Structure 1
Amino acid sequence: MKILFIGPMGAGKTTAISAVSDIPPITTEAENNDLESHAKATTTVAMDFGEIHLDNGETVALYGIPGQERFSFMWPVLAEGAMGAILLLDDGATGAREQLVTYLDAFPELVGRGALVIGVGHVRQGHGQVLAAYQDVLRQRGLALPLFTTDVRERHNVLLLIETLIANAEVNQLLDGTAP
């Protein structure tokens, strides 16, 4: 099973994978030369990789995409064969709702089959208020996708996103008749 972590630079993809991976994560961090977009020292330039080993013996591969749009040519390559994706957004970032639209448009196949879960981090005001703004964007597009506030530093929060994605994939397979 392959799960993508997608989202803009600074949303927490590398941190999320590090929080849950059962192996030391592989990262491709390089010096951030785009400090105007996000004031962090390093950024992912190819991908992050981690694994979770399930109780049933299955391994879930976790791939974090580079968040800068100049690396968007990598997105479809990494999405190949993914059962779904977790979209991470930073509510404190300028244009976070527009970033939601960017990633919905960039991964239409995953969105079309409901294989996307959204985690919104860096929430500074009431969680309900924050989520309502993102739900409005989804509603305008006729989408009903799982949406959570999250802290990607917390293993249990990231596991909730992963478990929700896997459960949704299983339900969608049952509904469309592709379940094994």
Structure 2
Amino acid sequence: MAEHVILFAGPMGAGKTTAIETLSETAVVRTEAANTDRETADKDTTTVALDYGEITLAADEKVRLYGVPGQQRFDFMWTILKERAEGMVLLVNNDAADPIGEMLHFLDEFRDLYDKGGVIVAATRSDVASTPSVADYSAALSERRPDLIVPVFTVDPREESQMRTVLMTLVANIEMRSMFAVANPTAAASASAPARDGVSA
């Protein structure tokens, strides 16, 4: 059976645990502690090590879903978990003080995952804050990192259909890169991903 390892990363309160719970077909393993940073996210608990779930996309294809802590003080877990990961869903909270800045920060921290497989940005809580828009995120990406081609979605992490669309898009990107690398080993290192597709889910 083919397996993919996908990280769900992003700042605290962006919806990583919820997204994994929405997608997972197994009981989600959660490692949470009391949240002592209510100014950043008004929630009772926060992930301190990882969240873990699984989903089967086809009879012979499974995806392992890992959620990483959102706080920088737990970044040692980022290093551990991204070693095995092939790609990342980067969730950002649209009503945060600086969601675009947070997106760029996490892209810098997980840059090697783009090189290995792919990254998708998923903006949550756009029903609470209508801006930034998908176009705003894409423009910031183009300006700051013109070398990266990253699809941008708006999602509700509680909606299974939306999260499956994000996950399937990422897995498709990973598989396309893998096939390209096999067919063109010399060119694979400098190959670009499929064109950006700004989508509002």
If the TM-score is normalised by the length of the shorter chain, which range does it land in?
Answer: over 0.9
CA distance in 2, matches of 1:116, 1:63: 14
TM-score, normalised to structure 1's length?
A: 0.92
Task: Measure, in 1, the Cα distance between the counterparts of 2:173 and 2:60.
Answer: 20
Name the counterpart of 1:138.
141
Q: Report whether the alignment pairs 1:32 with 2:25.
A: no
Q: CA deviation at 1:116?
A: 0.4
Cα distance in 1, alignment partners of residues 95 and 114 from structure 2: 24
Distance 2:130 2:77 in 1: 35
- Pairwise CA distance, 1:110: 1.3
**Which structure carries more strand by proportion?**
2
Matched, 1:108 2:111: yes
Match of 1:80 in 2: 83
> What is the SS of the residue equivalent to 2:163?
helix
Structure-to-structure mapping, 1:87-106, within 5 angstroms: 87-106=90-109
Aligned to 1:27, what secondary structure does the other structure show?
Answer: strand
Q: Secondary structure in 2 aligned to 1:47?
A: strand
Q: 1:105 to 1:137 in 2, by over 3 A?
A: same
Kept in 2, the 8 Å contact 1:114–1:145? The answer is: no
Match of 2:181 among 159, 164, 176: 176
Identity %: 41
* 1:165 aligns to 2:186 (yes or no): no
Hey, what's the Cα distance between the residues in 1 that align with 2:130 and 2:72? 30
* Letter in structure 2 aligned against 1:58: E
Q: Cα deviations across residues 89-134 of structure 1 (Å, max 9, x unaligned)?
A: 111011111101111110111123451011011114658x611111
**Equivalents in 1 of 2:113, 2:124: separation in Å?**
21
CA–CA distance in structure 1, aligned partners of residues 7 and 137 of structure 2: 20
Amino acid at match of 2:50: M
Find the residue that maps to 1:10 and give its secondary structure: coil
**Is the aligned partner of 1:10 residue 2:13?**
yes
What count of residue pairs does the alignment treat as equivalent? 178
TM superposition shift of 1:178: 6.2
Q: Deviations over 1:28-73 (max 9, x none)?
A: 1211011111111111011000000232233211000000111111
Q: For 1:177, give the aligned amino acid.
A: V
**Aligned partner letter, 2:16:** K
What do you get for the CA RMSD once the two structures are aligned?
Answer: 1.7
What is residue 43 of structure 1 aligned with on the other side? Answer: 46
Alignment gaps of 5+ in structure 2: 185-201
2:152 maps to which of 135, 147, 150: 147
For residue 63 of structure 1, the aligned residue among 57, 62, 66 is 66
Task: For residue 30 of structure 2, give the secondary structure of its aligned residue in structure 1.
Answer: coil
Q: For residue 64 of structure 1, what is the amino acid of its counterpart?
A: G
Whether the aligned pair in 1 keeps the contact of 2:121 and 2:152 (CA below 8 Å) is yes
